[in-house]
């Protein structure tokens, strides 16, 4: 890493929600999803270089607030994120987030950004990147069970990276399904609203579950899953929340991001501590096998991990060199003499 120039450290780049939306449209949504998937996969290939810890969570009756930190030795990143399912009843987002990227050699932050949109993008990119390794070849049909804020991003990433062109949609709230149909009707999909989850999974090669309620739930029962399917279970993100019957796990090959976190938060929290799983970085690097047969059931128990957020922050930093959709924030005290912070304060005293 080159030595920083003092003037470069005086300000931090800040990407607001408005500028994030400008950036997405400037790059192109599907291009950005593919780019993010590539950055995430690249960081999975160097998995062993990263600091890794389960996210630091503060739980309450209303939801959860979490910090997700990691470092590759050159940069340090973290994300603040919440999960409050009740928020939708009050006209608020279930999930909001922001993130920061800093230099390890100086400790100075260099990027602060909204991550509500960016998390939706990186989550979808991760799902599709994983499916490119685990889903059956030639998969074209995906069931999307849970049609909330993540749905459109998941669908577009699966099309851009895996070739999905048919969506079978189900949500307990019909208005949510109508929202997805409205948003995606001009995007080239064959959209099939379904009355039940059982109907939604018929003929699907990929099943994505992404529901919001933080409770032990059985969105998929064992009889709903057939041989050869890939399950993209991304709704689990905290203790006490599941979407799949445990019998599905017992007959699937389960793939995870970071087992110490997934065993707390994911579908496998239902299973014994020694329940066998395969880490996705091992599949990507060739250390372990992914899909090995046409009849195999593969299951990605995705809870979201800090390295994926780090990849998204790294991607964003790189793109801001060519797409100046950011503001410069003056949040770093930068006295002429690093030892004279007090003098800098005194010189700023109003005259008169």
Catalytic residue positions?
237
Number of neighbours of residue 76 by Cβ within 10 angstroms: 19
Q: Which run of H or E residues covers position 166?
A: strand 166-170
Both tokens assigned to 339: 């030892």
For residues 8 and 324, give the distance between their C-alpha atoms in angstroms, rounded to a whole number. Answer: 15
Residue matched to tokens 């928020």? 87
Both tokens assigned to 166: 């048919």
For residues 37 and 318, give the distance between their C-alpha atoms in angstroms, rounded to a whole number. Answer: 15
For residues 189 and 280, give the distance between their C-alpha atoms in angstroms, rounded to a whole number. Answer: 29
Both tokens assigned to 236: 């689990």
Distance between the two ends of the chain, CA-based, in angstroms? 46
DSSP letter at 182? Answer: H
* Separation of CA 147 from chain center: 16
Query: For residues 306 and 55, is the Cβ–Cβ distance under 8 A?
Result: yes
Query: For residues 151 and 181, is the Cβ–Cβ distance under 8 A?
Result: no
Cα three-residue angle 87-91-92, rounded to 5 degrees: 50
Contacts of 264 (CB under 8 A, 6+ apart): 54, 239
For residues 63 and 84, give the distance between their C-alpha atoms in angstroms, rounded to a whole number. Answer: 4
Q: Given the DSSP bridges, would you call strands 253-256 and 97-103 parallel, antiparallel or unpaired?
A: unpaired
Number of neighbours of residue 328 by Cβ within 10 angstroms: 10
**Judging by beta carbons within 10 Å of its beta carbon (0-12, 13-18, 19+), is residue 199 exposed, middle or buried?**
middle
Cα three-residue angle 194-191-180, rounded to 5 degrees: 85
């Amino acid at each position: 890493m080159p030595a920083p120039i003092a003037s470069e450290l005086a300000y931090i780049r800040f990407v607001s929600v408005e500028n994030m939306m400008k950036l997405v449209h400037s790059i192109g949504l599907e291009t950005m999803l593919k780019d993010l998937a590539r950055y995430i996969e690249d960081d999975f290939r160097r998995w062993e270089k990263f600091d890794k810890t389960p996210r630091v969570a503060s739980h309450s009756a209303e939801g959860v607030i979490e910090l997700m930190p990691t470092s590759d030795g050159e940069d340090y990143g973290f994300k603040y994120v919440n999960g409050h399912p009740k928020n939708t009843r009050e006209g608020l987002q279930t999930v909001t987030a922001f993130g920061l990227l800093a230099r390890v050699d100086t400790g100075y932050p260099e990027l602060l950004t909204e991550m509500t949109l960016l998390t939706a993008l990186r989550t979808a990119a991760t799902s599709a990147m994983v499916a490119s390794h685990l889903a059956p070849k030639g998969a074209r049909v995906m069931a999307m069970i849970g049609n909330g804020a993540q749905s459109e991003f998941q669908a577009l990433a699966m099309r851009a990276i895996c070739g999905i062109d048919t969506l079978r949609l189900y949500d307990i709230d019909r208005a949510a399904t109508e929202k997805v149909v409205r948003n995606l009707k001009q995007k080239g999909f064959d959209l099939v609203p379904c009355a039940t989850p059982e109907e939604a999974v018929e003929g699907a090669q990929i099943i994505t579950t992404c529901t919001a309620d933080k409770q032990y739930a059985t969105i998929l029962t064992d009889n709903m899953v057939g041989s050869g399917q890939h399950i993209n279970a991304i709704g689990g993100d905290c203790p006490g929340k599941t979407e799949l019957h445990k019998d599905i796990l017992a007959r699937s090959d389960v793939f995870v991001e970071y087992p110490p976190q997934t065993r707390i938060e994911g579908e496998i929290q239902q299973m014994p501590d020694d329940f066998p799983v395969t880490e996705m970085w091992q599949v990507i690097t060739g250390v372990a096998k992914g899909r090995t047969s046409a009849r195999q059931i593969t299951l990605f128990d995705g809870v979201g991990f800090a390295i994926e957020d780090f990849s998204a922050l790294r991607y964003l930093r790189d793109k801001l060199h060519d797409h100046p959709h950011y503001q410069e924030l003056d949040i770093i005290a930068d006295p002429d003499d690093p030892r004279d912070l007090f003098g800098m304060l005194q010189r700023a005293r109003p005259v008169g």
